[in-house]
Structure 1
Amino acid sequence: MSKASHAGIRAAEEIRHLGYDGSLRFLSEEAELPYERPPLSTEFLLGQIDSAALSMPQSDIAELMLDIGAIELDTRNHLLTLSDGSSLTFDGLVIATGARPRTMPDEERAHDAFTLYTLGEAQALRLELQREPRVVIIGAGLTGLEVASSCRTIGLGTTPVELLSTPLGRVLDEELGQRVAGLARAHGVNLITGRTAVRSCAPGPFERRTVPAR
């Protein structure tokens, strides 16, 4: 297993259910025990639950190897090289890392630019929202809209910027997407579609974001 994630845990449970009783290891670059990710953009972001409520039930189905990542995969020799320089051999490998958010080229210089993928990132964003900033969200997929909804719930102005013509455009058709857009705008979300953010400027707190036409 390449990630101690929800998908990884469920895959391990199914492997055991199918009768496999050999060695099974989880590998995760995060230091936290496996946890549920969906609430990161909703209940956790709003402060309605704490990190303990995100924890997944623990069992002895597999050995957990936390705070270590995989950096190279040799499929011919069934060898996985780890971030500490060691390696693991395997008979079967499940890659359950999920997707990672895209970042802007100068994001590392911006003190108020965040991604939302891990518990640590959610904790940092939740703390920042307590300052009552105006929020720009790059992307109006499921996570982007959930963050927008959370921001509106606590009274923050929020502007999702979506490249496609409608939110959730990769999973909904145009008509349903337009309905979702209407609902979002009706609840005070300043949704911008058909455009993308390409850069940020004036690094530091309260920096401006440029959102040019597509």
Structure 2
Amino acid sequence: RGELVSVVGRYGSGKTSLVNAVLGEMREGGGSAVRLGGSLAYVSQKPWIVSDTLRNNVLFGAPFDPDRYAAALHFASLKADLDSLSRGDATLIGERGCTLSGGQRARVSLARALYSGADVLLLDDILSAVDAHVAAFLFFETLKKHLRGRTVLLITHALHFVQHTDRILLMDSLTLAAQGTFEQLKHHPLLEQ
């Protein structure tokens, strides 16, 4: 609870399967779902955008709160992108609107998760969709500072960030191979690859 947890492993090691189990999409061998307490927000490695305005993609039906909305845009590193869109956050995006880059799509999905105020955030490889500067901002300012005290499960291939997380889950062959702090796991073969 209240930790920033990184989930790492090779491609196909079971990282996304772990997220699917947390989401209730996959059952353990005994048939019970993995459960986390509290409300949950999920940002997929293939971000989901609806054909609507950028603002409505962030709000996703929730009432508009200007302060919370501004914070979501800031901590998703979207403010500069709004300046480049013809109608700012009123710009239509998605299939029938302005085409966003993969990094922009990931950050709109992140802004939606941030705006939701969920207790638990599941973030599936969001740092790989953005450049190094934005990734550092998202990790240190958003995940480490802004979301302090909330539970964040971060699936990542950016191993240089895992030393700054509270706990690491190492996945291998669809199983949890090891878990612990960076200090405990820094010499583990799966973390050194």
User: What range describes the TM-score normalised by the shorter chain of this pair?
Assistant: 0.3 to 0.5
Higher relative contact order (CA 8 A, sep 6+): 2
TM-score of the aligned structures, taking structure 1 as reference length: 0.30
Task: Please say which structure displays the higher CA radius of gyration.
Answer: 1
TM-score of the aligned structures, taking structure 2 as reference length: 0.32
